[in-house]
Amino acid sequence: MSFYSEKVVSHFKEPKNVGFMEDADGIGEIGDPSCGDFMRVFIRVRDNTIADVKYQIRGCPASIAVASVMTELAIGKDLDDALMLTDDDVVKALDGLPEEKLHCSVLGITGLRKAIQDHFMRYIGDVKPQEDQNG
């Protein structure tokens, strides 16, 4: 793993925020669970801010590091700001990825965005139309 930065190695060896989240406010999945890299992202939202992020992942060292650093970038961010995070932000936070592993940076941000979208769909789904008062 000598071609990985120290940050990638650190996040791979000691991944942050890995795990399952009961009663998540949003869940996003990316990849194919039957083969290759797969990630499930769970978010907890409080006052329009990401209060917590957990994830489950199966993948290479770069994918695991990407997931770990994504959680650090996302926690504490307003949902709109979290949606503005990019793959480049992840790569930069890891002090780079080898060219052949840059595609792994897509996993973290896409999983996060899908979890945020799921949260919005759950929120919109809970909104009940007001009854006609003139009725």
DSSP for 34-102, written as a single string = TSS-EEEEEEEEETTEEEEEEEEEES-HHHHHHHHHHHHHHTT-BHHHHHT--HHHHHHHTT---GGGG
35 is known as an active-site residue: yes
60 is known as an active-site residue: no
Check 74, 97, 104, 115 and give the catalytic one: 104
Helix (H) or strand (E) holding 104: none
Tokens read off for 97: 């990825």
Check 14, 19, 23, 35 and give the catalytic one: 35
Tokens read off for 80: 């709109």
Which residues are designated catalytic? 35, 104
